[in-house]
Amino acid sequence: MKILIANRGEIAVRIIRACREMGLPTVAVYSDCDRGARHVRDADQAVHIGPSPPSQSYLRIDRLLDAARATGADAVHPGYGFLAENAAFARACRDAGLTFIGPSPDAIEKMGSKTGARAIATRAGVPVVPGTDEPFAAAATDRQIVDAATRVGYPLLVKAVAGGGGKGMRAVETPDSLLNAVRTARSEAGSAFGDTAVYFERRLIRPRHIEIQLLGDCHGTIVPFVERECSIQRRHQKVVEESPSLAVTPALRGRIAAAAQSVAKAAGYTSAGTIEFLLDEDGSFYFLEMNTRLQVEHPVTEMVTSIDLVHWQIRIAQGERLSIDPERALAPHGHAIECRIYAEDPDQGFMPSPGLIRGVRAASGPGIRNDGGVVAGYTVPVFYDSMIAKLIAWAESRGAALARMERALREYEVLGIRTTIPFFLWLMREPDFVDGRFDTTYLDQVLASRRGDSFMTLTEPEETELAIAAGLDAWWRATSGAASSSRASGSAWKSAARQDALRG
């Protein structure tokens, strides 16, 4: 089986690694700005699919199918994002005689609609967050909208039916801001997903985001895994994930896993997927949505179960029966935590910081996994999500995993651009995070309370050491050419000096 990876960045690298381990040849695809990207170098073959904007390359179904034909690929792995949850793409692959490494187009479609997925969960006997069962018609009157909101109750969330990542979502505290929130959510959903349909959900006050990974084979077996805790979110985007959750007892785990399994069964689900739940303070949990793909945070599950989810996605697509011991999948060994490292400047409100990466030295050592997608000399493009790597730490306990993560973050060097590593260093010592006292509102609140304080705090000796290092560096450069200089003939420094000279 030759596999075309319809994606880029770290997830393309991750999938290529699995293929190589399984002895399967790989085909990468790339846009204009990704010619020098790592996934292109790692794959056996690589095909150019168009200009840098995603709509002209990574989202072009026709070009991806052409690339598969041109290289003789038999299967397509969509990764996450881009076309991973696009039923038309899964269908087009099938129609072209390609194996789509993911669920059926039918299952993607059923679970892709948030209201449709809620209905399936309800029929499977799984509680959903109270809300409207159907999206509003575009022609719904203000009166109908207000009445529906009153039935659901405040505070509530306006959510896009096609939504994800917080897009097209608005929190409404009181009735007077309702209509305005519906309007903005609709327009945001329209531009983000091409679908303006929205619905209401009651907003839980302090929920945790708990999700269940599962695998389903083509013979009716579905295996749920130990939960992931994904409550650490900045503006509805997960930034840290861990497994297991401090808030989930073995008994609760069994109940949530069984609920996830019955939803997946009801959807006729195959391949890897994730069912997201909100866990309320009183221990009750509610179905939120299903992600019909491999998730960004899948490594934490792999680390605590020693089961390779991407291998299994491929084996399932090859028709193999799941032979995982269900008890093992639900019994975590130790604790794993993941930090999503973004090319963003945490001191500038997490502004993207694209640009040339001069050097990378990923953390390593015991219990550390680095799922990276960039190399030195690569320019982080402005066209895509700015995540450059995922750093995962495993240890026997949560406390040891946090200490190991902090150690690895200090080791991790990305030169030339700003990253979110200093923010994670701060978080690893934030008392509420360390003690596990958090819910999905925690991170935005604790960040707001810092009022923009810098994450680049230095001790007095560190500041002096930096001045000494910069002084020596300047001295070496000023005296370079002198016989004994140990100044490397650094091309980066030379070109920077040239630029300085040109700017006068």
Partner 1 sequence: MTFEIEVNGRTRRVSVERAGTEPGQFLVGVDGTTKVVDARRVGEFGISLLFPGDAHAGTAIDLAPGSAPGEVLAHLAGRTIRIVVNGRRAARRGADTSGTAHGEQKVTAPMPGRVVRVLVAQGEGVAARQPVVVVEAMKMENELRSPKAGRVKDVAVEAGTSVEAGRVLIVIE
What is the rounded distance in angstroms from the CA atom of residue 183 to the CA atom of residue 194?
Answer: 15
CB of 492 vs partner 1, minimal distance in Å: 6
Beta-carbon contacts of residue 421 (< 8 Å; ≥ 6 apart) = 339, 341, 409, 412, 414
Nearer to partner 1, 412 or 442 (CB): 412
User: In angstroms, what CA-CA distances link 179 with 68, 183, 184, 192, 201?
Assistant: 47, 6, 9, 20, 15
CB of 314 vs partner 1, minimal distance in Å: 28
What x/- string results for residues 212 through 241 when contact with partner 1 is judged by CB under 8 A?
Answer: -----------------------x-x----
What x/- string results for residues 429 through 468 when contact with partner 1 is judged by CB under 8 A?
Answer: -----------------------x-xxxxx---xxxxxxx
Check residue 171 for interaction with partner 1 (CB under 8 A): no
The 8-class DSSP code of residue 481 comes to T
User: Is 293 a residue of the active site?
Assistant: yes
User: In angstroms, what CA-CA distances link 438 with 284, 299, 426, 441?
Assistant: 17, 22, 16, 8
DSSP-H helix ranges across 369-486: 398-411, 421-427, 431-435, 442-449, 460-479
Q: Which of 13, 4, 56 is nearest to 33 (CA)?
A: 56
Check residue 419 for interaction with partner 1 (CB under 8 A): yes
Check residue 503 for interaction with partner 1 (CB under 8 A): yes
In the chain, the amino acid numbered 45 is Q
Check residue 492 for interaction with partner 1 (CB under 8 A): yes
Using CB under 8 A, which residues numbered 341 to 360 contact partner 1? 344, 349-352, 354-355, 358-359
Selected binder of partner 1 within 106, 382, 399, 445 (CB under 8 A) = 382
CB of 392 vs partner 1, minimal distance in Å: 16
End-to-end CA distance of the chain: 58
Phi/psi region, residue 216 (left: phi>0; alpha: psi -120 to 50; beta: rest), is beta
SS3 for 51-71 is CCCHHHCCCCHHHHHHHHHHH
Nearer to partner 1, 106 or 463 (CB): 463
Nearer to partner 1, 249 or 464 (CB): 464
Selected binder of partner 1 within 32, 411, 430, 446 (CB under 8 A) = 411
Check residue 386 for interaction with partner 1 (CB under 8 A): yes
CB of 370 vs partner 1, minimal distance in Å: 14
Check residue 58 for interaction with partner 1 (CB under 8 A): no
User: In angstroms, what CA-CA distances link 383 with 59, 139, 204?
Assistant: 13, 35, 35
Selected binder of partner 1 within 418, 433, 438, 439 (CB under 8 A) = 418
Selected binder of partner 1 within 106, 147, 413, 453 (CB under 8 A) = 413
Check residue 193 for interaction with partner 1 (CB under 8 A): no
Which one from 293, 340, 369, 398 is the annotated catalytic residue?
A: 293
For strands 351-352 and 344-345, give the pairing.
antiparallel
What is the rounded distance in angstroms from the CA atom of residue 283 to the CA atom of residue 299?
Answer: 26
Selected binder of partner 1 within 174, 306, 449, 484 (CB under 8 A) = 484
Q: Which of 67, 70, 89, 66 is nearest to 79 (CA)?
A: 89
Nearer to partner 1, 257 or 341 (CB): 341
Structure-block tokens of residue 455: 């994450």
Beta-carbon contacts of residue 376 (< 8 Å; ≥ 6 apart) = 357, 358, 359, 360, 415
Q: Where on the chain is the footprint of partner 1 (CB under 8 A)? A: 165, 235, 237, 344, 349-352, 354-355, 358-359, 382-386, 409-416, 418-419, 421-422, 425, 452, 454-458, 462-476, 478-479, 484, 486-488, 490, 492-493, 496, 499-500, 503
Indicate which residues carry an active-site annotation.
293
